[in-house]
Structure 1
Amino acid sequence: MPDPVPGGLTTRPLQKSDAHAVFVLMAAQEQADIGEVAIEEADIVSDWARPSHDLAGRSIGVWDGETLVAYAELMGVDRADTAVLPSHRGRGIGTWLATWLQDLGRRLGSPVIGMPVPQGSPGDRLLEGLGFRVRWTSWVLKLPEGATIPERELPAGYAVRTAEPGELRAVHDVLEDAFLEWSARDREPFEDFEATTTGRPGFEPWNLRVVVDPDGDVVGVSLVLVSDNGRTGYVDRLAVRADQRNRGLAQVLLVDSFAQARAHGTTTSELSTDSRTGALGLYERVGMVADSIWVNRAIDLS
């Protein structure tokens, strides 16, 4: 384990009751680094509700009196998340957290750990100096206010609609099959998927959109959330079954998702994609523009 945290601060594992404090911390960091707050408290609550996640064994909070000023956690094999309150930067806390995460990863047998940081941010520069390499680049893309995505007709017999409760496992299969084509990780347990979708605070049935084929099978999925205090419709996940691609189904889902979000009061729409998917060009062609760029920096542990 690393030496005691610098500056006379205290540490302890996080608890579920700390979700709001972590949200406040992450929001302050995002506001300083990208000029807006992207994180939602529901993101943290639903992540921590995953049955597979050992919050007590995989997290650390750094406290200055009663204030949470930094934190780190490791979820799954290699996904790390950290934040340091901007007022507490330059004290060695970020370096201490990076060491803590590497020690934890080695104890758990992780071959590598990585975390997302805004490109060019203090966190990005710190991790680069500590030897963390760029694994992939991510873009947050927005549909300009007032713009619309060109509509595509569905093939005959296909339909787009709200997912039915009995289709949740089929939805999970479509998403995981697609994401595991390019993401080197274990298959997400269905119970974890439930925790972050239907179990997410504020979830409403319309958030989960599907395309079904003439046989009624789920062949495309979009999870669209309302964020930014109700102003933004955010497509959190989008996937089409491999044998159903190149039929315009992804574009249909985008049009539907953003229209549904607008019908529920949002004024802008966005999503993120990364360099592993090869989908950046698709979103740019339908009129979306890059709003911020993030890099996933990682370090090998063996």
Structure 2
Amino acid sequence: MNLPPGLVARPLVMSDASAVHALFAAAELADTGEVAVELEDIEGGWQRPSFDLEQESIGVFENGTLVAAGEVYKTRRAEATVHPDHRGRGIGTWLARWVEDCSRRRGGSLVGQSVPVGGSAERLYQSLGYREGWRAWVLVVPEGAAIEPQPLPRGYVLRDLVVGEDEETAYRLVEDAFNEWPDRQPSTFDDWAASTVRRPGFEPWQIRFAVDDRGTAVGVAFLIVTEGCGYVDQLAVRSDQRGKGLARALLVDAFARAREHGAARSELSTDSRTGALPLYEHVGMQVSQSYQHWVTDV
């Protein structure tokens, strides 16, 4: 396919990060009524060693202004959008075909993206013959809602990450737990670190461990606080330690920490692969947004 007249496409470069952030923020605001993406999310994602910005990203420009962008991570996960003011021109279809071609060129067999349920992106993927994958949700603890304390089992404590000592432990807990999901691609330590401990502005209090009576870390939570919102980005408990309330304790602790650092509300996201939705609803979280993952063979 060709782009509409007057549009040009090229790979993104690091200096495009602010423009890409503004683009995705405008799209999120139009599609969901709020902005969740941060510039640090983009910068952290682009610094992952496994991501090739030149080969796995694209920007679409009109008169020097970025109007659409996309990237494909590990041939499988796409993040692409068109500015709300430029939809309906065929750019989204062109971008979807670029995503498929990028995944194919990089050795992939399947590619997809999670998009808001009922939105224009979902209708586009349906029209292109994509099929449904997993369902995902954003859950929120509303501003002012009570956070009930969750006691730890006898002998367990919570503590902050110790820089230079605990990074590998946090990564291993997250990676082992997340690799239980179907259709999940393993991550290296350096890829994980790019979006956590090496994320711009990271501080040790953002990672908390649940530690057993022998001093072994058996659970972990990673929290991001920005724009008055605390976002629990990662939550994991070792498989043999589940059923003791550790995940709930880490979650409630993260909510409290977020409030201590100025957050009026707390959020997280989960999907149907994890089976964790009842856990989050049990601690008083409410679904605020729903997403559908759409996939196609390439």
TM-score by length of 1: 0.96
| Identity of matched residues, % | 51
Residues 211, 217 of structure 2: 8 Å contact kept: yes
Q: 2:83 aligns with which of 73, 79, 85?
A: 85
1:256 aligns with 2:253: yes
Q: 2:274 aligns with which of 274, 277, 301?
A: 277
Separation in 1 of the partners of 2:5 and 2:99? 19
- The residue aligned with 1:247 is 244
- The residue aligned with 2:135 is 137
Post-superposition Cα deviations, 1:222-278, rounded to whole Å, max 9, x if no partner, equal: 001013x2x100000101000000000011001111111110111101111101111
1:168 aligns with 2:151: no
Deviation at 1:209, TM superposition (A): 0.9
Matched ranges for 1:215-230 at <5 A: 215-227=214-226, 229=227
Residues 151, 251 of structure 1: 8 Å contact kept: no
Comparing 253-262 with 185-194, greater Cα deviation is found at 185-194
- The residue aligned with 2:20 is 22
Counterpart amino acid of residue 209 in structure 1: R
Counterpart amino acid of residue 116 in structure 1: S
Q: 2:235 aligns with which of 221, 235, 238?
A: 238
Residues 229, 264 of structure 2: 8 Å contact kept: yes
Matched ranges for 1:1-302 at <5 A: 3-165=1-163, 166-227=165-226, 229=227, 231-301=228-298
Deviation at 1:195, TM superposition (A): 1.1
Post-superposition Cα deviations, 1:16-42, rounded to whole Å, max 9, x if no partner, equal: 111110000001111111111111111
Question: Which runs of 5 or more structure 1 residues have no equivalent in the other structure?
Answer: none
Residues 30, 37 of structure 1: 8 Å contact kept: yes
Deviation at 1:114, TM superposition (A): 0.6
Post-superposition Cα deviations, 1:134-192, rounded to whole Å, max 9, x if no partner, equal: 11111100012222332222122211111112111111111011111014233211011
* Structure 2 counterpart SS, 1:160: strand
Post-superposition Cα deviations, 1:84-139, rounded to whole Å, max 9, x if no partner, equal: 01111000000001111111111222110011111111111111111111111111
* Structure 1 counterpart SS, 2:240: helix
Residues 131, 294 of structure 2: 8 Å contact kept: yes
Counterpart amino acid of residue 206 in structure 1: W
Separation in 2 of the partners of 1:86 and 1:77? 26
Q: For this pair of structures, how many residues does the alignment match?
A: 297
Residues 226, 234 of structure 1: 8 Å contact kept: yes
Counterpart amino acid of residue 161 in structure 1: R
Counterpart amino acid of residue 290 in structure 2: I
Q: Provide the aligned C-alpha RMSD in A.
A: 1.0
Residues 25, 35 of structure 2: 8 Å contact kept: yes
Residues 141, 289 of structure 1: 8 Å contact kept: yes
Counterpart amino acid of residue 271 in structure 1: L
Runs of 4+ in 1 over 6 A off after TM superposition: none
Deviation at 1:77, TM superposition (A): 2.9
Residues 7, 91 of structure 1: 8 Å contact kept: no
Question: Which runs of 5 or more structure 2 residues have no equivalent in the other structure?
Answer: none
* Structure 2 counterpart SS, 1:6: coil
Residues 50, 195 of structure 1: 8 Å contact kept: yes
Separation in 2 of the partners of 1:148 and 1:237? 22
Residues 167, 218 of structure 1: 8 Å contact kept: no
Separation in 2 of the partners of 1:151 and 1:237? 20
Deviation at 1:48, TM superposition (A): 0.3
Separation in 2 of the partners of 1:173 and 1:82? 30
Separation in 2 of the partners of 1:28 and 1:153? 41
Residues 145, 267 of structure 1: 8 Å contact kept: yes
